[in-house]
Chain A
């Protein structure tokens, strides 16, 4: 995920008339290349998940999802998202506010630090929590004394996910709020509105679609993270297996239908995210056009 990508959602999809200037053969060649590349690298994997999931029919598909281990994996995945997304959303708004509305020394360094979890290998993201809370780690002894379980339990999974999805909302809002500028807010404030009132009546309506988009991506990643969670989970069946881990477990038990059925839920989630995202972009685009007209 990246800044610019999230900053300027595709607004203008209709081809400009100038495009017609390209000779037809160039156009068709490029479209052919694009479509086949997307087909090869994106459509085919997606289709293959679905084909494998339904390889033995709808009943087999549904029954693999009905077993307690699958249910508890789905539950844990939802719980993890439920715990991490709101926290990272609050953080994202706060960080975007202080970075885009104020000038202070070290700002660009701070921005880089916020980005850091994007490019940290998931393996490292898991490792650091083992080093902190593992039995041999910094707080290991203290945690054992007080009988608090973090690693190989739900809190560890939530922490690792929190780390992985940390920048999503902030990274979406920062460019958006930068572009927006603060004139409207300043106007409201100078007219005597309180800080919170200004935030809720001016800022939120302006950033709501971008915010939702960030939340959506954050949620998708929170539910789909594998590498980091795998390191801190302990793989206890029915207890600390999230859905992506359940995919791996089922795959390793030669239960391919179950593996791909769980994978298809995650892929389905990805599709829903993408559809919602397109909708949000369209909505944001319309809102903007409307405000331009006004």
Chain B
């Protein structure tokens, strides 16, 4: 195995040097790429392709009919609006949190910093049940909000937004934090000596540099939010046209044995996710280029 691989790698050096501009003596291109593609194909692409093939059993008209039916459109609207709001709120607070973590010192900072990743690690169903418990009208916070502001936050779109803020927060903090950390404070100092005030420095210098990262965090949070199911379902209320999300539509269709309908919606959601991911990767590419130039 070990020997074989080196031999193979030597044998195809000629071929590889055509493809590769760098690392011409690196071994293992073929086996690693081969394994990557094989595994990707088996675990991800073949299963996902079933969505495409199953949807092909529908005619174009049927597909359009399913996707543009009022209720499905409404669920897309609910999912997108709540994900946008959730990601936006998380972006604002995530930015502030990242800022305080990087720039200030206070007691308990390390613990809080570790806690940020909780939504990554906590199972979504647990998160959903717990959030519903806290924010329902008789829960700790739900009651408080009800009494003081008269706002009901659970079992309506606000509930969905709350669950999505929870899910989104680490995406934003963890994308913005490293960029703020790497940020060269010399530029601030220079601006300061030139007479710029704090707000000007923030708006003109810091924010533009952090913005791409913030946008990436926002996009990641949004992409995740649109597909989120477990944590949303317990707090959403699930009323048609009001608080019914796309993943729930898929489940509902499935349970009525409408496999084609379910896959049509799923495929649409998948395409949207894929486009979002492409955009995110472009954004990251852009950031890398920017930081390379700096």
Same complex origin of A and B: yes
Q: Kindly identify, within residues 30 to 49 of chain B, every residue whose CB is under 8 Å from any CB belonging to chain A.
A: 31-33, 35-37, 39-40, 43-48
**A76 contacts B by Cβ under 8 Å:** no
**B59 contacts A by Cβ under 8 Å:** no
Question: Nearest-CB distance from A152 to chain B (Å)?
Answer: 14
CA gap between A130 and B115 in the complex, in Å:
35
- Interchain CB contact under 8 A, B247 and A4: no
- Interchain CB contact under 8 A, B103 and A22: yes
Contact of A16 among B185, B270, B277 (CB under 8 A): B185
Contact-size category for A:
35 or more
- Interchain CB contact under 8 A, B121 and A116: no
Secondary structure at chain B's binding surface: helix, strand, loop or mixed?
helix
Count how many pairs of residues, one from A and one from B, have CB atoms less than 8 Å apart in the complex: 343
| In the complex, chain A residues whose CB is within 8 Å of the CB of B113 | 10, 13, 278
| In the complex, chain B residues whose CB is within 8 Å of the CB of A132 | 46-47, 50
**A253 contacts B by Cβ under 8 Å:** no
Least CB separation from B278: chain A residue: A112
| In the complex, chain A residues whose CB is within 8 Å of the CB of B170 | 5
- Interchain CB contact under 8 A, B175 and A121: no
How many chain-B residues does the 8 Å CB contact rule pick out? 119
Question: Nearest-CB distance from A197 to chain B (Å)?
Answer: 8
- Interchain CB contact under 8 A, A45 and B127: yes
**Would you give 14 A-B contacts (Cβ < 8 Å), ordered by A?**
A34-B97, A35-B106, A45-B118, A49-B126, A98-B32, A104-B29, A110-B40, A120-B270, A122-B228, A136-B259, A199-B28, A217-B120, A220-B120, A263-B126
- Chain A residues close to B by CB (< 8 Å): 1-16, 18-19, 21-23, 26-27, 30-31, 33-35, 37-38, 40-46, 48-49, 52, 87, 91, 94-95, 97-99, 101-105, 108, 110-124, 127-129, 131-132, 136-138, 159, 162-163, 166, 182, 185-186, 189-190, 194-196, 198-199, 217, 220-221, 223-227, 243-244, 247-248, 251, 259, 263, 266-267, 269-270, 273-275, 277-278
Given contacts A37-B93, A122-B247, 18 further A-B contacts (CB under 8 A): A2-B171, A5-B177, A9-B178, A16-B185, A42-B169, A98-B33, A101-B29, A103-B20, A105-B19, A119-B273, A122-B124, A122-B227, A123-B250, A137-B50, A186-B23, A195-B2, A195-B27, A259-B129
